[in-house]
């Protein structure tokens, strides 16, 4: 771990213009940093590849039809519309030039640059397949709104296909759902798919019984919810088993294909589980922007691609660049929303102190994380909560989960509609977001094809240009 920034770099902008802060990412880190700068004498530009702020902890409720996309992903532009010093820009950042203090981004086919005096990078993390990226096609993860909508369509599509197929073996494959990764997301997904099958879809099919669906939660680790400890992990496991979820631990996934999944057990034997719908929630890797920053500075990255930051969340030799949230590695802090929120706010406060009060980076106090605890839902009316030594499971934990998630949802209207959707769900198994479209199922493959066509077109254009250049030289 490197020490806090000591460089006496002045944070103020050249005379005649305001200090420019560029923030990459509109997730928890980016949005809270921008909001912290609301009253600061700076110009803030928040650039992100999506136009919304995504509340990732509730993505599984979109994937299983409880909440609508709008409730968990309000437009960033509208959240920040009254913040006069903030500009929201849609753009996928592909290059950060540390020496020139600028970054390059694109929105569709439009390219643009952004210059900064201070930079806060909060580009988060993606799903990791531990070097087996080809698994993704058959076992999508859940990181984005697109992922959740695709998964919802895949899940519902399996029930629909099972209803019309005559072949019994194929019907069983269609009604087998495998969730890889028994962390909070895997537990939440397994619980919800089981509830969907047993309660929400009850009596709605004529040839199949949705409750006969097999829901399997598997993990290479020996425990459910390892970060929550044995007691809470076992409580979650017991509740899931009560709901009919099969838990398979110490089971290492060795392959994923169209047909199903291949698993290696501790005794070395390999077996297959035929399943049409596979969901991946087993690991994360940080945004590749982290490696780019490390390559240009003295910073290092860890195995998950996270940047080892200084104690003040800046990069060695670059006090003007902060990396926060899921992209950063500091003191083994977990990849959770509170780390990103507190990191984003901390970075913004350092910038304010230096721009408005003339402080120097050397005067920064180290970032201190305040652990407010962690929680995960298992099913309706059942959750687990860990706050330091305090461990709670069951109904009370679930009420706490409900209150905290409502409090952190962005926007008053969203909180009201979410409460209404939850009320409907709790009161009568009603899920109002069970729409599924063909595009959501096939969009990933279509986009892959479009990207490949684009790349081929660009390379053909380049070689034509090179040929005509060499012809004119001749």
Ligand X SMILES: Cc1cc2nc3c(=O)[nH]c(=O)nc-3n(C[C@H](O)[C@H](O)[C@H](O)COP(=O)(O)OP(=O)(O)OC[C@H]3O[C@@H](n4cnc5c(N)ncnc54)[C@H](O)[C@@H]3O)c2cc1C
Pairing of the two strands 19-24 and 118-121:
parallel
| Contacts (Cβ under 8 Å, ≥6 apart) of 142 | 59, 60, 63, 127, 148, 151, 185, 189, 279, 280, 281
Give least dist CB 318 to ligand X, A: 19
Give least dist CB 226 to ligand X, A: 15
Q: Which of 37, 59, 158, 409 binds ligand X (CB under 6 A)?
A: 59
Distance CA 239, CA 407 (A): 26
- Torsion angle of C-alpha atoms 412, 418, 421, 424, degrees rounded to 10: -80
Q: If binding is defined by CB under 6 A, does position 337 make contact with ligand X?
A: yes
Distance CA 399, CA 407 (A): 12
Q: Which of 4, 65, 124, 140 binds ligand X (CB under 6 A)?
A: 124
Piece of the chain touching ligand X by CB under 6 A; list 26-34, 108-116, 200-208, 302-310: 26-34
Measure CA 342 to chain center: 17
Determine the size of the site formed for ligand X (CB under 6 A).
34
Give least dist CB 13 to ligand X, A: 23
Three-state DSSP string of 406-436: HHHCCCHHHHHHHHHHHHHHHHHCCCCCCCC
Do the beta carbons of residue 320 and residue 117 sit within 8 Å?
A: yes
Q: Specify the 3-state DSSP secondary structure of 447.
A: helix
Distance CA 311, CA 314 (A): 7
The string of DSSP codes covering 46-73 is EEESSSB---GGGHHHHHTTSS-HHHH-
Binding flags for ligand X, 256-295, as an x/- string (CB under 6 A): -------------------------------x-x------
Between 287 and 393, CB nearer to ligand X = 287
Q: If binding is defined by CB under 6 A, does position 24 make contact with ligand X?
A: yes
Q: If binding is defined by CB under 6 A, does position 65 make contact with ligand X?
A: no
Distance CA 429, CA 416 (A): 19
Between 27 and 140, CB nearer to ligand X = 27
Give least dist CB 384 to ligand X, A: 11
Between 179 and 245, CB nearer to ligand X = 179
The string of DSSP codes covering 300-335 is -B-TTS-EE--TTSEETTEEEEEE-GGGEESTT--S
Between 215 and 313, CB nearer to ligand X = 313
Q: If binding is defined by CB under 6 A, does position 35 make contact with ligand X?
A: no
Piece of the chain touching ligand X by CB under 6 A; list 28-36, 190-198, 233-241, 416-424: 28-36
Piece of the chain touching ligand X by CB under 6 A; list 47-55, 247-255, 365-373, 453-461: 47-55
Give least dist CB 102 to ligand X, A: 14
Q: If binding is defined by CB under 6 A, does position 329 make contact with ligand X?
A: no
- In the residue annotation, 38 being an active-site residue is answered as no
> Which 85-104 positions form the footprint of ligand X (CB under 6 A)?
92-93
Q: If binding is defined by CB under 6 A, does position 418 make contact with ligand X?
A: no
DSSP-derived secondary structure letter, 221? S
Among candidate residues 150, 188, 195, 320, the one labeled active-site is 188
How many CB atoms sit inside 10 A of residue 87's CB?
Answer: 16
Between 126 and 421, CB nearer to ligand X = 126
Measure CA 322 to chain center: 20
Q: Which of 36, 61, 128, 185 binds ligand X (CB under 6 A)?
A: 185
- Judging by beta carbons within 10 Å of its beta carbon (0-12, 13-18, 19+), is residue 222 exposed, middle or buried? exposed
Q: If binding is defined by CB under 6 A, does position 57 make contact with ligand X?
A: yes
Q: If binding is defined by CB under 6 A, does position 210 make contact with ligand X?
A: no
Q: Which residues bind ligand X (CB under 6 A)?
A: 24-30, 47-50, 56-57, 59-60, 92-93, 122-124, 142-143, 184-185, 287, 289, 325-327, 335-338, 340
Q: Which residues are the active-site residues?
A: 188
């Amino acid at each position: 771990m490197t020490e806090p920034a000591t460089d006496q770099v002045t944070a103020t902008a050249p005379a005649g213009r305001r200090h420019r802060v560029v923030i990459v990412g509109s997730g928890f880190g980016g949005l809270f940093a921008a909001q912290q700068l609301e009253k600061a004498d700076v110009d803030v530009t928040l650039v992100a590849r999506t136009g919304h702020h995504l509340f990732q902890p509730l993505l599984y409720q979109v994937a299983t039809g409880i909440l609508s996309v709008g409730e968990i992903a309000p437009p960033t532009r509208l959240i920040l519309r009254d913040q006069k010093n903030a500009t929201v820009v849609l753009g996928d950042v592909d290059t950060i030039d540390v020496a020139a203090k600028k970054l390059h981004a694109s929105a569709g086919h439009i390219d643009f640059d952004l210059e900064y005096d201070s930079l806060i990078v909060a580009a988060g993390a993606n799903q990791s397949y531990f070097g087996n990226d080809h698994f993704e096609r058959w076992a999508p993860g859940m990181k984005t709104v697109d992922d959740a909508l695709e998964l919802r369509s895949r899940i519902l599509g399996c029930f629909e296909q099972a209803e019309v197929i005559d072949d019994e073996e194929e019907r069983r494959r269609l009604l087998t759902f495998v969730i890889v990764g028994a962390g909070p997301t895997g537990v939440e997904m397994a619980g919800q798919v089981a509830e969907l099958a047993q309660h929400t879809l009850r009596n709605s099919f004529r040839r199949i019984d949705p409750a006969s669906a097999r829901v399997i939660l598997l993990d290479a680790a020996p425990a459910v919810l390892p970060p929550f400890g044995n007691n809470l992990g076992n409580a979650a496991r017991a509740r899931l088993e009560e709901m009919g979820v099969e838990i398979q631990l110490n089971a290492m996934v060795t392959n994923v294909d169209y047909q199903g999944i291949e698993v290696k057990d501790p005794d070395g034997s390999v077996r297959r589980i035929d399943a049409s719908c596979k969901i991946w929630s087993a690991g994360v890797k940080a945004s590749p922007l982290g490696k780019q920053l490390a390559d240009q500075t003295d910073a290092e990255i860890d195995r998950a691609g996270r940047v080892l930051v200084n104690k003040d969340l800046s990069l060695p030799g670059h006090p003007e660049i902060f990396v926060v949230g899921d992209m950063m590695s500091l003191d083994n802090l977990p990849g959770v929303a509170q780390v990103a929120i507190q990191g984003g706010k901390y970075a913004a406060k350092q910038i304010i102190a230096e721009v408005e009060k003339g402080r120097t980076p050397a005067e920064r106090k180290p970032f201190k994380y305040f652990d407010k605890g962690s929680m995960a839902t298992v099913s309706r009316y059942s959750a687990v909560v860990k706050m330091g030594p305090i461990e709670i499971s069951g109904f009370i934990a679930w009420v706490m989960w409900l209150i905290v998630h409502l409090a952190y949802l962005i926007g008053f209207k969203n909180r009201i509609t979410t409460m209404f959707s939850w009320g409907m769900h709790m009161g009568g198994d009603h899920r109002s977001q069970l729409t599924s479209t063909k595009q959501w199922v096939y969009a990933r493959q279509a986009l892959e094809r479009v990207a490949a066509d684009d790349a081929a077109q660009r390379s053909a254009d380049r070689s034509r240009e090179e040929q005509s250049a060499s012809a004119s030289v001749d």
